[in-house]
Amino acid sequence: NNNNNNKKEDDISKELEFYTGQRSGGLLSSGPDDTPKYDVRCFFLCPNDRMAHTSIIDTRCEQMLLRGLVTETTDLRQDGKLPLSSQPARAIGYRQTLDYLYRSEAKSKDEEALDQYIEDFTTATRRYAKKQMSWFRKDDSFMFVPVQVLDERKKGDDENEVETKEATMLRVEKAAGIITEMCLLSREEYEKQLLMALEGEKEGTTTTNNKTNDKQKGAVKTSKKEQQKQREAYIQQLPLSAQTKIANEEQGKQMKFYKPQRYIIQKGTKEYEDIMLEVDQCTKRIQGLNDDF
């Protein structure tokens, strides 16, 4: 009987989830008075510089390769744990690696194929990051929290040396402090802040300030430069979340000028030679090739 009762409860729970889109007992489920059971507050840690963030993405991809992504993929395939038709095999990183390992007419020390593989991997990762930012910008339930990022393209410059552990902690503490302040607000005040950020972001993303234009009817039109200054002054008055979201979207327009480059795995370096040796060995294992392929 207990089993039957449990089955009925499971069936009811599934039906509720189907009709409402919420799991029974989930974070957003409501109590008896139709108020949320939990005080859920969502935050998006947003890089303050998309160009710099993209350079970090490229570096992380190279680091994944140096830490054994190709060997890991090969081991999983040969152990039968990564079927080609499985969802994990379609994940970014695995998918590009498998395409490379199963490439036709494979040959050893093929720099062109290796360079294309790295480019495919980094490009797919950058595109995914772009989609994530776009998705979160459309979700009105998220507060945007700016996080300072270090530009990989400038590492080694006198003005931007490799970040110290203390500097990293300061960046983390600053973002955590903003989130803590938001969490300490009452639910009513938090909702007010969220609404202000949303309204400000919508107003701030317009190319011109309609209110300013209305006041200037019959007057000489202001220059584009002056309109931009007025808009920037207006944005500075918005809540931090709205400022961050607007900056993130506007920086996206400049990403077409981003020039991908290698930061670690560069031709002529030991890292490049090590990766070449690893991918050749893994290609032989996957395709069952001879040593002199």
Write out the chain's pLDDT in tens, 293 residues. Answer: 556 656 555 665 555 455 545 555 555 555 666 666 789 999 999 999 999 999 999 999 999 999 999 999 999 999 999 999 999 999 999 999 999 999 999 999 999 999 999 999 999 999 999 999 999 999 999 999 999 987 666 665 544 445 677 878 888 899 999 999 999 999 999 999 999 888 887 777 664 445 445 444 444 567 888 888 888 888 888 899 999 999 999 999 999 999 999 999 999 999 999 999 999 999 999 999 988 78
pLDDT of residue 2: 55
Looking at residue 18, its pLDDT comes to 53
* pLDDT (0 to 100) of residue 212: 46
Question: Does an H or E element contain 55, and which?
Answer: helix 50-66
Measured between alpha carbons, how far is 196 from 238 in angstroms, rounded to an integer? 8
What is residue 220's DSSP assignment?
Answer: P
Whole-angstrom distance, CA of residue 196 vs CA of residue 114: 49
Entry pTM: 0.78
The dihedral through the CA atoms of 81, 83, 89, 95 has a sign that is positive
Q: Residue 226 has what pLDDT?
A: 85
What is the pLDDT at residue 207? 45
Calculate the dihedral angle through the C-alpha atoms of 35, 37, 38, 44, rounding to the nearest 10 degrees. -60
Q: What b-and-e string marks burial along 188-206, b requiring 16 or more CB atoms within 10 Å of the CB?
A: eebeebbeebbebbebbee
Output the pLDDT for position 182.
95
Predicted pLDDT of residue 232? 83
Name, in order, each residue with C-beta under 8 angstroms of 144's C-beta and a sequence gap of 6 or more: 43, 44, 46, 136, 197, 240, 241, 242, 244, 245, 248
Other beta carbons less than 10 A from residue 125's beta carbon:
19
Q: What is the predicted pLDDT for the residue at 209?
A: 43
